[in-house]
Each structure stands twice: as C-alpha cells, then as structure tokens.
Amino acid sequence: MTLAVPRKLSIPRLRVEAAVDAVGVTAEGQVEVPANPKRVGWYRFSPAPGEPAGSSVIVGHLDSRERGLGVLAALNEVRRNEIVQVTRSEGRAVTYRVVSRRTVAKDGLNAVGAFRMEGPATLTLITCTGPYDADKGGYRNNLVVTAEPVIR
C-alpha cells in the first residue's frame, strides 16, 4: 500500500495555494523547511493528512530575505473556523477547520503536542513569528495553527 502523501495546501478565503514537499530533519535536529518560501513542507515523520490519528505537520517560511514573503505569512490572518484543505497524492482533498492559533517559543513545539503521533487527528501548520533576532539570524517564536478534520 502506498502512503497518500499531501501534494497541495489551500486556505481558500486567504487565496493561499502551495505545493507540498515531503521534508525530514536537519543536521541540527530541526524540521526541514523548503528553501522556496512559496512551497510548504509536510514533516514526513508525522501522520499524513487524512490519517485517523496524530498531528499532521506542515511547515513553511514566514519570509525570505532573497525571495520575499512566504506563503505561510498568511497564517497571521487566519481565523478560528477557517477552512484549510490538503489535497493528497491520490487526488482526495481532506478538509480541516481551524480551532486555534498561538505563538510558541521555538523550543516549545513538543510541549504543545505539535508532533504527537497518537490522539485525535489534527493538522498543525507552523511558521516563524516575531520578534526577529538579527544577532541569532532568525525569529524567536513559531506561529502554530491547529485545525481539526471536518467530518462529512
């Protein structure tokens, strides 16, 4: 059986559409983020969107000095009950509804269950957020948006 991996992320009201790349872990032990800020990455060690349990994690850049705003900069405008869709490789779209948006310290993602493998199915969208720390070369926090599957 082939895993139906995510291929496209959409947030219709915000006119967000992004191709999805499977990503892993960097040498520093962090989740990889696609170099192109117009693409997002599905953390391939998390459940695929549409699986019955666990947190499906999709990450993306807020911005890039060389390439401008990232597609997930739109998460700053996402609202509770917002619809998010992920189209899988077999063509099926999985629909989610946003239930929360919060700022989390870079080292606090595990504590908020972003990478859990069990429990209710959720979609977790992660990008960077301020403040920007030029001395450390990046943002101090992550913006974490959690969405639950819409049962039809």
Tokens of 35: 């170099």
Give pLDDT tens digits for 77-126.
999 999 999 999 999 999 999 999 999 998 888 888 899 999 999 999 99
Give pLDDT tens digits for 46-77.
999 999 999 999 999 988 777 778 999 999 99
The answer to whether residue 3 is domain-embedded is: no
The answer to whether residue 119 is domain-embedded is: yes
| Surface-to-core class of residue 66, CB atoms within 10 Å of its CB (0-12 exposed, 13-18 middle, 19+ buried) | exposed
Q: What's 78's domain CATH number? A: 2.40.260.10
The answer to whether residue 43 is domain-embedded is: yes
Residues in the chain: 152
Question: How many whole angstroms separate alpha carbon 78 and alpha carbon 73?
Answer: 10
The answer to whether residue 1 is domain-embedded is: no
For 1-152, where are the alpha helices, taking DSSP H only? Answer: none
Number of domains present in the structure of the chain:
1
pTM, whole model, 2 decimals? 0.93
Average confidence (pLDDT) over 35-39: 93
Question: How many whole angstroms separate alpha carbon 100 and alpha carbon 30?
Answer: 23
